[in-house]
Amino acid sequence: MTPIHDQSYRRYGGGRAPRGRAWAVIAAGGIRTFIGRRMFLGLLLLSWSQFFVRAVQFYAAANLPQILAGDAVAAASFFAPTPATFRDFFDKQDLFVFVVSVYVGAGLIANDRRANALQIYLSKPLTRAEYVFGKLAILMAFLLLITWVPAIMLLIVQILFAGNFTFVRNNFYLFPAVTLFAFIEAGVVSAAMLALSSLSNSSRFVGILYAALMFFSQALFGVLAFVTGDSSLSWIAITHDLAQVGDEIFRLPLRYRTPWPMSFLMIVLLVVVSGLVLERRVRGVEIVA
């Protein structure tokens, strides 16, 4: 008797996607995996808390003068958004950038190395660059979701609550500034984390290593700044380099004495080193000569 459904092996006659899209499959697969974790969803929600606080602040700034009389005008001007408000928003999001980077990024390549998945990936029709780009896209997507998306939303919320375009018209550069800084921050952090992740088979070790590098470089700068009484050595901490470049992008006074091109150079250097590490470590076979 012929079975209703033949469960034997059959040749495939359907279509195939053009090459060069495997990175999107990797990115989508990774994003789906993390979205499926309740703890991570909670973390994402928590990282948006500042957005809600700022939204209330913008609402107050726009509406307090109409609600109350007298001192309320002064209060409204206290709440009124400025370009520094948006720069400050990014500063305060740094904690979540750190936590999400460790949570998502530490295992991106380390777990694949532990499970020997690289030879599975690279036996498929995709290049090493596509693999790295796909993994990079996972972390960058989440970092932009907690930095760029809420910052742009805040600008939109400001327009909605104010009922006019005055603030945005006067500070039109904020849209590109927010976008540029968010992408630089997400790109640099993702590249560095991915490079570290490729160095080990243990995501826990990678997380600890990343945290140690961040805190150690900041602590070293703190000690040197205290001893020398000068902040021009801030380039040794990548977080300070990002802060310097961020201040420049937002047209605010620089917080350290290091010239911003120097900080930018350090960022570029970190990305280049990360690329070299990834080029060396992401291979289908590990050769120990």
* Residues forming the site for another protein (CB under 8 A): 7-12, 14-19, 21-22, 25-26, 29, 33, 107, 111-112, 114-117, 119-127, 283-285, 287, 289
Which CB atom, from 222 or from 284, has the smaller least distance to another protein? Answer: 284
Helix orientation angle between 83-100 and 128-146, rounded to the nearest 10 degrees: 130
Which CB atom, from 9 or from 226, has the smaller least distance to another protein? Answer: 9
- We find the least distance from the C-beta atom of residue 10 to another protein, in angstroms, to be 7
Handedness of CA 227, 246, 248, 51 (dihedral sign): negative
Which CB atom, from 67 or from 289, has the smaller least distance to another protein? Answer: 289
- We find the least distance from the C-beta atom of residue 15 to another protein, in angstroms, to be 7
Which CB atom, from 3 or from 163, has the smaller least distance to another protein? Answer: 3
Contact 34, 138 (CB under 8 A): yes
- Give helix then strand counts, H and E, for the chain: 14, 0
- We find the least distance from the C-beta atom of residue 210 to another protein, in angstroms, to be 19
- We find the least distance from the C-beta atom of residue 107 to another protein, in angstroms, to be 8
Instruction: Give the separation between CA 217 and CA 229, rounded to whole angstroms.
Output: 17
Which CB atom, from 27 or from 237, has the smaller least distance to another protein? Answer: 27
Contact 188, 101 (CB under 8 A): no
DSSP assignment of 140-153: HHHHHHHTHHHHHH
DSSP 8-state code for residue 18: P
Judging by beta carbons within 10 Å of its beta carbon (0-12, 13-18, 19+), is residue 94 exposed, middle or buried?
A: middle
- We find the least distance from the C-beta atom of residue 123 to another protein, in angstroms, to be 4
Which CB atom, from 16 or from 169, has the smaller least distance to another protein? Answer: 16
3-state secondary structure of 48: coil
- We find the least distance from the C-beta atom of residue 276 to another protein, in angstroms, to be 19
